[in-house]
Amino acid sequence: MGPLVSEEQLQRVCNYLEIGMAEGAKAASGGRRIDGKGYFVEPTVLVETKDYMKVVQEEIFGRGAAIPFDNPEELLTRANDSVYGLAAGIWTHDVSKAHRTAALLRAGTVWINCYNIFDAALPFGGYKQSGWGREMGKDVLNLYTQTKAVCTRL
């Protein structure tokens, strides 16, 4: 996992982790800044989180929460209950179930049994407040296109 983009983003991520811990989340791994040069925070997985926590509801970029669930319907409701929707990851042995779930997730990218895989031919961008438009792929051309409809009654 690479560095964060700036000192400001580093502080933002560290603040999220502090808030999460104060709200009762625990770091199953990571959770600390790596001292030295650069803007590094250990890869972090938070457990014992609740749906209302900031670390679950907001985009932290590179740190995540592992949240158990009892059935797929509950999972989809909880996963989609956010104003953000940049990306999601699914890990399972049942690839058919993963594709059905991916279709129902409101996220711009869904990775199945992998994460952070990018290709210049694939569009990238989020749903809801995770951005608008798409980067990469042929869909990026829409950012540079302005269409117009002209109607005339003859």
Q: Running along the chain, 154 residues long, what does each successive block of 10 average in pLDDT?
A: 87 92 92 87 90 85 74 86 88 92 93 91 87 84 84 88
Task: State both tokens at 46.
Answer: 């938070």
What's the distance, CA 41 to chain centroid?
A: 17
User: What is the residue whose two structure tokens read 């996963």?
Assistant: 79
Pairing of strands 33-34, 40-41: antiparallel
Q: Coil, helix or strand for 80?
A: helix
- pLDDT computed for residue 6 by the predictor: 92
Model-wide pTM > 0.85? no
